[in-house]
Amino acid sequence: MSQPPAPEHFGRSAVRRVERGFDSVFGARLNPLRHLGSLGFLFFWIIAISGIYLYAVLDTSASGAYRSIDELSRKQWYLGGLLRSVHRYAADALVLVMIGHLIREWLFGHFRGFRRFSWLTGVPLLLFVFACGIGGFWLNWDQLGQFSAMATAEWLDGLPLFASPLARNFLSAAAVSDRLFSLFVFIHLGLPLLLLFGLWFHIQRISLADVFPPRALAVAATATLFVLAALKPVLSHPAADLSQVPATLAIDWIVLFVHPLMYATSSGFIWGILVGVLFFLLLLPFLPQTRVIPVAKVDPDNCNGCRRCFDDCPYAAVTMVPHPNRRLARQMAQVDADLCASCGICVGACPSSTPFRSVAELVAGIDLPHSPISRLRQQLQAALASPDSDRKIVVFGCDHGASVEALRDHGVAVFSLVCTGMLPPSFVEYALRDGASGVLVSGCRAGGCEFRLGQQWTEARLLGVREPHLRAAVPRDCIQMVWADAGDDAALRVALSTLRRRIAAFDGPVPLVEPA
Ligand code: HEM
Ligand code: SF4
Ligand code: SF4
């Protein structure tokens, strides 16, 4: 039916293995590895809310800052102290989920073509998050904050950026003026605002971005931060003292690892690593692409302007424009080639993709030129007409999920689509009407769809809660859905056996259902 997807390389299958391991603990829907971006947003908001409280009590003078924060932990441990700890742990969590999110997207190869924008706008977020996190330690103005501020100044002095070395600002207590401390406050308040703007920009080219994790996951993640904060409250080190070098420090290795690394190497080494990593990340999306897949194409004569493709496209690649033939419809879909992922989810949404149309050549309002929906109808008709078995099971699968090919035998006809979201529900009804004994629909696990929303929309359409919906008259006993990632072939086989048993138990012949 479609072109084969990029081969599963080691990194991709390793991520899938890890994700499957987590699935068995959390379930696919609540697996944190499938919601790293939205967890990042959650931690950002927790940091912002707890930060507002901390700012209200912070004495922003160099001499008063230490006392105002230290007393918060000691005298008001049940509220201010708790929020201070949550603030710190949420910052650590944000760094961890951000790095996890980056590694996941990288190993899945999600940095090219239509994803280039998301990738390139993600890279500056790395810098913002670390800069916000490191700057936060300075505001306590304890020995850890002193160490971090000093190390950052020495690192910046590694480049000939400033006329006089920044580290001179930390030679004596008198040198750390209120003005310098106001700069610390400004950095720690200004950068998060830039980060928020960067986050908004990052998800601009994504429809219905997953910016809030499922409620149970959000509650569990927030509760974990509070439990950690209660069990191991964050306390200040002794007050900063520029006449001494701090002796023992409890380093936050997640945010501040870069300082000990610099002292173990050199500031030049850290600059080299930073420039090298940024260069690599920014170069990745521009590496030559081996496969260029044609994007979705609209046929004005078959587009009635219903906007379903506009609503369902996961990458906001569809816009609605005035229809060239106003007698047919007021609006028509238009595809932005730069944004289109060639996923076919719009084809599954389009009312004109129904196989019941009496036209000899099925032309959809929107279609994938390399894998048109008419071909699926032809192949389905041919498979159900073949004499080797009169009651086949039809399997509609997805190129990116578990391979449906292994299920092919004389009693099973298989069709693998670019994304399971390309399947118009009417094809399920059509297959049953044309003689299939049952239909198995498979795709990636919840949260694992290669094109973000294909699995979700397919499930909703087949359950009848999203347009185009599967008609209520279609016998549900003859239909099975299974969500299985690449490599999870066992789940497919189990689902097929379940469907076979259900069909056998189904009372009487499959009723003929009339087309919509
Ligand atoms: C604070 C840090 C970050 C947060 C909170 C964040 C959040 C998100 C969110 C919510 C999405 C949409 C997910 C969805 O709805 O499917 C997303 C997508 C994406 N992010 Fe991030 N992100 C961050 C950093 C990064 C970084 C550092 C990179 C890589 C350099 C990156 C690369 C991507 C890519 C490629 C996508 C598109 C995924 C797809 O199309 O399937 N992000 N991010
Ligand atoms: S193929 Fe996918 S990305 Fe392209 S327009 Fe259709 S739904 Fe949008
Ligand atoms: S779903 Fe089909 S008919 Fe509706 S606007 Fe899109 S292309 Fe046109």
pLDDT tens-digit profile of 231-283? 999 999 999 988 888 778 999 999 999 999 999 999 999 999 999 999 999 99
**Could you give all domains of the chain from N- to C-terminal order, each with its CATH number?**
35-286 (1.20.810.10), 297-504 (no CATH)
DSSP3 helix / strand / coil % (the chain, rounded to 5): 55, 10, 35
The best mutation among 366, 368, 422, 457 to test binding of ligand 3, ranked by most ligand atoms within 8 Å of the C-beta, falls on 366
- Confidence (pLDDT) at 3: 47
Cβ burial, residue 275 (10 Å; 0-12/13-18/19+):
exposed
- Confidence (pLDDT) at 357: 93
Q: Residue 308: CB within 6 Å of ligand 3?
A: yes
509: cis peptide before it, omega within 30°? Answer: no
Quote the pTM value: 0.91
Q: Residue 429: CB within 6 Å of ligand 1?
A: no
The best mutation among 114, 205, 295, 307 to test binding of ligand 2, ranked by most ligand atoms within 8 Å of the C-beta, falls on 295
Nearest CA to ligand 3 atom 3: 303
At residue 325, the 3 state secondary structure works out as: coil
Closest CA to 150 of 243, 230, 34, 39: 243
**Nearest ligand to the C-alpha atom of residue 306:** 3
Q: Which residues of 227-247 are buried (b: 16+ CB within 10 A; e: fewer)?
A: ebbeeebbbbbebbeeeeebe
In whole angstroms, what is the distance from residue 464 CA to residue 268 CA?
60
Nearest CA to ligand 1 atom 2: 98
Nearest CA to ligand 1 atom 17: 37
In one letter, which amino acid is 331? Q
Residue 184 pLDDT more than 70?
A: yes
- Residue 514 binned pLDDT confidence (cut-offs 50, 70, 90): very low
In whole angstroms, what is the distance from residue 241 CA to residue 174 CA?
11
Of residues 176 and 434, the one with the higher pLDDT is 434
In whole angstroms, what is the distance from residue 392 CA to residue 439 CA?
9
Instruction: Please write the tens of the pLDDT for every residue from 285-331.
Output: 999 876 678 999 999 999 999 999 999 999 999 999 999 999 999 99
- What's the mean pLDDT in 113-137? 96
The total of other beta-carbon atoms located within 10 Å of residue 416's CB is 20
Residue 138 in contact with residue 184, Cβ under 8 Å? yes
Strand partners, 438: 393
**Nearest ligand to the C-alpha atom of residue 340:** 2
C-alpha of residue 312 to centroid of ligand 1, in Å:
20
